[in-house]
Amino acid sequence: MYFALSKLLLFLLYPAFWVFIVFVIALFVKDRKRKQRWLIAAVALLYIFSAPLFLNLFARAWSIKPTLAKVPNVYSCAIILGGYTSVHQNGDGYFNSASDRFIEAVRLFNTGVVKNLLLSGGNGSLMPGEYKEANWAKTQLLTFKVPDSSILIESNSRNTIENAIFSKQILQKSGLKPPYLLVTSDFHMRRAFMIFKKEGLQVIPYPCDYSVGQWMDLFSDLIPDGVAWAEWNIYLKELVGYVVDKWK
């Protein structure tokens, strides 16, 4: 129930929805001064969510820096959280914009930083089909010559909480000793790290897939950009999810 409700109410987090509501209020308010205030508020929100400067500042504050030991170390396993693939209409998978998670998994294994890879991710769609992300991703790892014996699969999770619960069960059965590297996108790491720690897993954050917040140009970042809207959708979802998951 919680999973379905969270999917259906996602649109309430989007900045475009907030701006639309404020504009609607301004439209129906009869008092002239109040109407002007609502219109100013709508324009201000429109600018804040479209100027990359505010997004980059938030992204920098939200980001969790990697905490890998400075000396070379080898880890028993890296947990790769799903979300880096999508599914074609024919049922076959393909890599999406978050594919850096998969790339880092291959790099960590091929450079000897980790000995095993745990792929965690099933199907997070509200109406899931037969496609399982971890199962498809394993076929791709095999093409990169990663041995089958070094790949662990968790293909039942639909969200980050289930990622942690089911990954813990698999790791306990595997006998692999912690700490484990936790690999996910930079925007997702703060919430994922908190959830995995609450589940009792000793993980070291290994963020990747940096999209915003790494480079800033004061002049260009003050110019509205439509891309900022889409990125705010992601970060606000993570922020609300972090608060809810921490409370739960």
Q: What's the pLDDT score for residue 72?
A: 55
Question: Would you say 103 and 184 are in contact if contact means Cβ atoms under 8 Å apart?
Answer: no
d(CA 112, CA 126): 38
Give yes or no: residues 202 and 105 share one domain: yes
The tens digit of pLDDT for each residue in 55-100 reads 999 999 999 987 765 545 889 999 999 999 998 888 788 999 999 9
Higher pLDDT, 237 or 150: 150
Query: Do 196 and 227 fall into the same domain?
Result: no
Give CA–CA dist 14/32, Å, rounded. Answer: 28
User: With 60 as the cut, is the pLDDT of residue 5 above it?
Assistant: no
- pLDDT grade, residue 13 (50/70/90)? confident
95 is a domain residue = yes
pTM above threshold 0.85? yes
For residues 142-169, average pLDDT:
95
CA–CA dist 59, 62 (Å, integer): 5
Q: Per-residue pLDDT averaged across 17-39, rounded?
A: 90
Q: Which residues contact 92 (CB under 8 A, 6 or more apart)?
A: 136
- pLDDT of res. 4: 54
Quote the domain boundaries for residue 142. Answer: 78-208
118 in the same domain as 88: yes
Q: Are 37 and 121 members of one domain?
A: no
Instruction: Examine the domain organization and report whether 59 and 82 are in the same domain.
Output: no
Q: Is there a domain that residue 155 lies in?
A: yes
* pLDDT for the residue numbered 79: 98
In this predicted model, what pLDDT tens digit does every residue of 113-128 receive, in sequence order?
999 999 999 886 666 5
The average pLDDT across 162-170 equals 96
Residue 71 lies in a domain: no
Question: In this predicted structure, which of 10-19, 171-180, 183-192 has the lowest mean pLDDT?
Answer: 10-19
- Is 175 in the same domain as 232? no
Total domains present in the chain = 2
